[in-house]
Amino acid sequence: MAGSGTAHLRDDQDVVLSVRNLTVEYPGTGNERVHAVSDVSLDARRGETIGLVGESGCGKSSVAKAIMQLPPPTSGSVRLDGTELVGTGGAALRRHRRNLQMIFQDPISSLNPLRKVVDIVAEGLRIQGGSSTADIEKRCRAMIERVGLDPDTAPGRRPHEFSGGQCQRISIARAMVVDPEVVICDEPVSALDVSVQAQIINLLEDMKKRYQLTLLFIAHDLAVVKNVSDRVVVMYLGKICEVAASDDLFAAPVHPYTRALIRSIPEPDPTVPVADTVLSGDLPSPLNPPSGCRFRTRCTAAQQRCAAEEPEIREIRPGHFAACHFPLDVPPANPSTREAAER
């Protein structure tokens, strides 16, 4: 497997979300099991943005849905403000979900096409209870305006009357109106145009500062993750490969997979030669993942130990963790220069 362990977790009072040994498996054909997420652990401090990156199919969205208990994970622990969510259901889970909201990848299909915007945004408040109809409408209109939509015309319209970027603003309003502590953003800009992506990212940053939010930002666009994240978690085939502060990780990655991902970021300069990604082959099937390190079948530095022994996540440099038997020998670099990590 790519990597297990909890050496990268932090044990302090500022940790608002703690995920330990999360495993998500889905039924396959016959007796087969799809190993979507295998022994993943991560945490987030209050007011922090955690970036979760990796190739499509690595298990990022499965982690997000398991944290939300949609559906509950096969095993593991998810603690929000010290309260265990795994095994919690019914009214108790609904109470805790007020503090844990999610923005989905597809801004249009995540909204009920038959309902008006005001009803979509107000649904969480109505389920939560304790507020009058007038107060709910007032809070919804205020939040609709805060995300950049017209509070006079937008509430009475339906999702199909809006663009993709506007629908994502509605999704953000729906998540924020219940005043959550943690918001999971599951590739919130991947379906949008580049110009609209910037607007949505700026809106999320504004919401984070205004409401002191903790964000789990999931994406496969590393350039976006670099700009918004305080700490980055890299996943490969259901496992964590590397964890570090954003500047440190992009300046000097220590896992071969992370280096390949960073080298794949296109440079907007035609004079810059295309870098060798040192990554070939297809992603192995999660039905039958490789033994030992899951990345070994695509790693040019793989040795016999990689097939026989699963690497544990360990601290390679202060605050920089990786699950690799043979981490890259990259000296500390200036965080402002990515070229140093590629020499």
Query: Is residue 166 domain-resident?
Result: no
Query: Is residue 83 domain-resident?
Result: yes
Query: Is residue 129 domain-resident?
Result: no
Query: Is residue 93 domain-resident?
Result: yes
- Give the CATH number, domain containing residue 60: 3.40.50.300
Query: Is residue 201 domain-resident?
Result: no
Total domains in the chain come to 1
The one-letter amino acid at 137: E
CB 291 within 8 A of CB 285: no
pLDDT digit string, tens, across residues 28-59: 888 899 999 999 999 999 999 999 999 888 99
The pLDDT of residue 277: 58
Per the document, the length of the chain is 343
Query: Is residue 123 domain-resident?
Result: no
pLDDT digit string, tens, across residues 214-271: 999 999 888 889 989 999 999 999 999 999 999 999 999 999 999 998 888 777 777 7
CB 75 within 8 A of CB 87: no
Region of 237 on the Ramachandran plot (φ > 0 left; ψ -120 to 50 alpha; else beta) = left
pLDDT digit string, tens, across residues 264-294: 877 777 777 766 655 777 789 999 999 999 9
Query: Is residue 113 domain-resident?
Result: no
Q: Which domain holds residue 228?
A: 1-99+217-269+281-343
The DSSP bridge pattern shows strands 83-84 and 75-80 to be antiparallel
pLDDT digit string, tens, across residues 284-326: 999 999 999 999 999 988 899 999 999 999 999 999 999 999 9
What's the predicted TM-score (pTM) here?
0.89
DSSP-derived secondary structure for 37-101: EEEEEEEEETT-EEEEE-STTSSHHHHHHHHTTSS--SEEEEEETTEE-TT--HHHHHHHHTTEE
User: What percent of the chain lies above the pLDDT cut of 90?
Assistant: 69
Count CB-CB contacts under 10 A for residue 10.
12
Query: Is residue 114 domain-resident?
Result: no
